[in-house]
Structure 1
């Protein structure tokens, strides 16, 4: 534990990280957005990942860590980025994101880049799929197996929405393979609880996606290959609550695009 971080500052989630939950719970954000503070034990500097919504109390809690050297963004969605400008004003720290539009006084992130800050190493891994600009942050020195801040690419509960056309299933499946290669790292998601084994959860996520593709194929076999998104959603996500219907339709849209771009995959997912 870093001596410079108050014991009351959020929840300890790993050797190098603490989580501070933003007060924005909802159907899509689960309990709220997890903002993380990264610092090696004894470090006087800190990194904040995803400052979240503009909520002065939440930002004050993040700033209470001490000197903020850098702010990192996992992807463009407002529940992760809305507070970026305000937090940069409060702390003077640059904000870096993969998409230059979400940077504040900092350079865009690059996939494969290693950042040395707050007494540790942070590796940037490009993981498009949820959005085109999604990245994950690998902390290889965070315990025996390291940890991975996954943004919305992997959630602590449920599965992520792929935001067609910005997010694609082909990209997402490839991103899961890339993350799986990092082994049994601790998963630090932007929503929901911490998970113990990155490789295992990547396998579960990939299996779930292929099961959904099978369900979409089965629906198309009955409805015809020209079935609409709404028709397929009715068949595959019949139990979905009305509050998340738009998310179910987004998932179906990405699945249909994936299958229709691969005629063989309409019969068997051989791609």
Structure 2
């Protein structure tokens, strides 16, 4: 993920301070980890989900291996379950320690992160825990194992979706060229659009956003625009043009220091077009 491929009209709003729990919806609060960087924006959002009046909670993406952060999150309340949206270290580096601190099972697509009896998600699985109904929606593309967590609406809240790195709070998502896939990503965006309007976006990085359908449509349009630009670059440079040449043409409006990151997404786009 990065700001190098910014969506039209995007601006960097203010973000809460590190190490402070911020309530976003009646059931979702966020703790921002102090690990800012080119690939993490302000840092990793660790989400804490809990129904009103309940003690136990669900933690989504404990973050990197920062023991202060992990202990701070664990101290918010008894953790019934930990969920992982995808394999990247800034979301999973702390899994081992967090499981040790809380004793809570950890569930993820990738078996490497299972702890405490946690298992892989089943297709379309619905999890009832901590007074909440959570639906696991596969959203591959950023990585092969990416999922989103749908908080189903009820009388206390209109619903929200934890999107991991599939949709960010600002900018757009870099597709990992080791196992990301543009075709999967476009399908995932359409699946998120299909959830309908009115759902809050709770991203893995950056601020929360008010309406998932609107943001997902912007992401889809932006990705299709970039794909058209890559096609045009290949028409000019030749079908076998190297990735850096394509990046220099398509991302000429982007700071060149960010081109190595853009290469990841372009590699995935080239693979999509050439197959």
Q: TM-score scaled to structure 2, two decimals?
A: 0.89
The CA deviation at 1:243 is 4.3
Partner of 2:232: 218
Aligned length: 254
Partner residue of 2:129 out of 95, 99, 117: 117
* Structure 2 residue matching 1:226: 3-state secondary structure: coil
Partner of 2:6: none
RMSD over equivalenced CA pairs, Å: 1.4
Indicate conservation of the 8 Å contact 2:20/2:32, yes or no: no
Indicate conservation of the 8 Å contact 2:57/2:80, yes or no: yes
Q: TM-score scaled to structure 1, two decimals?
A: 0.90
* Structure 2 residue matching 1:163: 3-state secondary structure: coil
Indicate conservation of the 8 Å contact 2:32/2:46, yes or no: yes
The CA deviation at 1:103 is 1.2
* Structure 1 residue matching 2:34: 3-state secondary structure: coil
Partner residue of 2:179 out of 152, 163, 166: 166
Indicate conservation of the 8 Å contact 1:97/1:109, yes or no: yes
Partner residue of 1:204 out of 215, 218, 226: 218
Partner residue of 2:163 out of 150, 155, 163: 150
Partner of 2:13: none
Greater relative contact order: 1 or 2 (C-alpha under 8 angstroms, separation 6 or more)? 2
Partner of 2:83: 72
1:125, 1:168 → 2: CA distance?
17
- Which stretch of the first structure deviates more once superposed, 168-177 or 230-239? 230-239
- In the alignment, structure 1 segments of 5+ residues that lack a partner are 1-7, 262-271
Partner of 1:267: none
Partner of 1:108: 120
* Structure 2 residue matching 1:18: 3-state secondary structure: strand
Indicate conservation of the 8 Å contact 2:134/2:150, yes or no: yes
| 4+ aligned runs moved over 2 Å, structure 1 | 141-145, 238-246
